[in-house]
Each structure stands twice: as structure tokens, then as C-alpha cells.
Amino acid sequence: MVETGIADSGLAAGWDFEVVVVSFHSRGELTTLIAGLPADLPLAIVDNASGADQVGELVADRPSGRYVDSGGGKGYAKAANIGVRTSSYPFVVFANPDSRPTVDVMIKLVDDLRADPTLATVAATMKAKDNTIELGNGGWEPTPRRVFLHAIGAHKLFPTVGLFARPTPGRPINVDWMTGAALATRRQTFVDLGGLDERYFVYNEDVALGRRVREANMGQKLRTDLLVPHDAGSSGAGKTWMLQMRGASMIAYLRDHNSAGRVSAMRALFVVGYLARWAVHRARGNQRLAAEHLAYVKGLTIGRPPQE
């Protein structure tokens, strides 16, 4: 791991939090994200592509910027953990290369942590390009009932019955886990919780973190009044590769926390539901969505795709 920057040189004046962003061939998205942030805001880029797109150049002239080469191919959870553990700031804000949290949003997230020591994490709500709220801002622990309702699409009519939350702006919602696209935490709390679960290369590490927070009897808060633009899936590996990985990570998580019988039942429900989606989109001529649903099924049944 190669690191440059100020991690061991004290805090930047005026800031008590650092932004940590994991990059994998994400230079274009990172450039846009960084352009909207104050020049002196502490920012760490953890590069999972070993310098392939020279993202270290993006923080070279920032007085409180640092670049960390993870060594490549570490997966999101491990890279994010490296970023936090090498930080010298009491608070950390995670951002994705394709999310656009403003510094004002970040400050409000950290302010919530300062005000309530029982909170482990606070996250903003992601919205798509068309300003609709994204499905998957957070969600609930997978159970056979919730998987069944998700598989048949009941969550579209009853938003809180499935697996993934699509919150209403300004309306509080209690979830079991939250996305890390714009999420704040105390550095020490995060470390004490064990960080993100590195058994999951990408996906479900957020679900696992929510579980650790609940087991520690701490709180997590989804700020539905803080809406952050998010171009989901625009950075990183290809979409079908990512969706196969998502399916594989879901099964891995289910195996870690459920009996073999429950895992088999939930996998069967997922497969039937996503094969039905695949068939519908194929019949309608939407080959892109059909391929994406089939990739998820491959992850559920075959496992992780080959490394890109």
C-alpha cells in the first residue's frame, strides 16, 4: 500500500472530519465530485486500481488531500477500511465517486453525530438524475417473508414490506442498514465495530455494518431531508459484472446469518422473482435490463464473476 498526504500530520484547520472515497477506474466521476468541494476540505482517495487512471493527481494540489494505493483489487470494504484506519480525523464521511454530497450536507451529517453519542452512523438520501428517490437508500434485514414480497414486487405498492427502502423526502423512516454513498461515522466507533465486513468484496457490506450497529445497541439515522444526487452505477466495473457480484454477495451474507434451509428458501425466491423479471424484459425487447436481471441470478446461483 502506497500512501501520500497528511494522515499523520494533524488536523486541517477548521475541519474535524475527512471525506473518504474509494475509486476503481473512477477518475471522471471523481473529478466532478471534487470540483464541488472546498479546496481545503480533508479528502482521501483510496485507489483500488493501483494508479491505472492516475487519480492521485486529483489530490496532489489539495492542502488536506491524500492518496492511498490499496494495492489493487481489494474490494470496496477492505479499501474503505484502509481509508478510515489511516485517517487522523475524529469523524469520517464516506462518499461514492458518483454521488454529489455538498459540504453543507456533510457538516449536517457530522453535526448529528456530535449531538447524539448513541448514533453510530448518519446517512443522506440518494436521488437519481430525474430527482426520484432511489430504491436502496437503506433497507431491512433479509427474511423469507421480506424476500418473497420483494420477489413478487409487493414493495412497489407497500414501500416498507420488502428489502430495500425508497424513503419519502422529509418523512422519517427506521431502517436496519443504510447505503454508504454519503454516510458519516465517528472514526473510533467505526473501528470499534470492526469496520466494514471484508468478507464481502462489494455489496452487502452496508447491510453487515447495519447489523453490527444494531448488535452494539447503537443507532443509525437516515436523513430523508438531505437529498444527494447520485448517478448509480456510473463508476467502477461493468453493470452486469456488478450485478452478478451483488447476487453473490447477497447469498454470502445470507449464509453467514441464516440456517441452510432458510438460505435455500430465500435463494429460490430470489431466483424465481428475477427470472420472471428477465423474461418480461426480454419479451419487451429490453435486452439491457434482461441481461442485468440474468446477471443477478448468476450471482445467486453460480457465485462471483471472474475478476475484471
Q: Are strands 182-186 and 119-127 parallel, antiparallel or unpaired?
A: antiparallel
Q: Is the pLDDT of residue 2 over 70?
A: no
Q: What is the average per-residue pLDDT within 46-67?
A: 96
Residue 73: pLDDT band (50, 70, 90) is confident
> What pLDDT, on a 0 to 100 scale, did the predictor assign at position 27?
96
Can you say how many angstroms the Cα of residue 151 is from the centroid of all Cα atoms in its chain?
22
| In 195-238, alpha helices (H) | 205-215
Residue 92 burial (C-beta neighbours within 10 Å; 0-12, 13-18, 19+): buried
Q: Are strands 119-127 and 43-47 parallel, antiparallel or unpaired?
A: unpaired
DSSP state of 55: G
Q: What is the average per-residue pLDDT within 19-26?
A: 96
Cα(167)–Cα(125) distance, rounded to whole angstroms? 8
Residue 238: pLDDT band (50, 70, 90) is confident
- 284, three cell numbers: 419487451
Is residue 124 helix, strand or coil?
strand
Q: What is the average per-residue pLDDT within 283-301?
A: 97
Residue 11: pLDDT band (50, 70, 90) is confident
- 139, three cell numbers: 433497507
> CA geometry: angle at 116 spanning 110 and 7, to 5°?
40
Q: What is the average per-residue pLDDT within 271-296?
A: 97
pLDDT tens digits, one per residue of 114-137: 999 999 999 999 999 999 999 999
Architecture of domain 2-229: Alpha-Beta Complex (3.90)
Q: Is the pLDDT of residue 235 over 70?
A: no
Q: Is the pLDDT of residue 234 over 80?
A: no
Beta bridge partners of 184: 93, 122
> What pLDDT, on a 0 to 100 scale, did the predictor assign at position 43?
98
Where, residue-wise, is CATH 3.90.550.10 in the chain? Answer: 2-229
Q: Please, what is the average pLDDT of the chain? A: 94
> What pLDDT, on a 0 to 100 scale, did the predictor assign at position 6?
43
Residue 233: pLDDT band (50, 70, 90) is low
Q: What is the average per-residue pLDDT within 256-280?
A: 98
Residue 7: pLDDT band (50, 70, 90) is very low
Residue 9: pLDDT band (50, 70, 90) is very low
How many angstroms separate the most distant Cα atoms in the chain? 59
Residue 262: pLDDT band (50, 70, 90) is very high
- 295, three cell numbers: 446477471
pLDDT tens digits, one per residue of 135-187: 999 999 999 999 999 999 999 999 999 999 999 999 999 999 999 999 999 99
**Range list of β-strands (E), 6-153:** 17-23, 43-47, 65-69, 91-95, 119-127, 138-139
> What pLDDT, on a 0 to 100 scale, did the predictor assign at position 237?
66
Residue 8: pLDDT band (50, 70, 90) is very low
> What pLDDT, on a 0 to 100 scale, did the predictor assign at position 307?
76
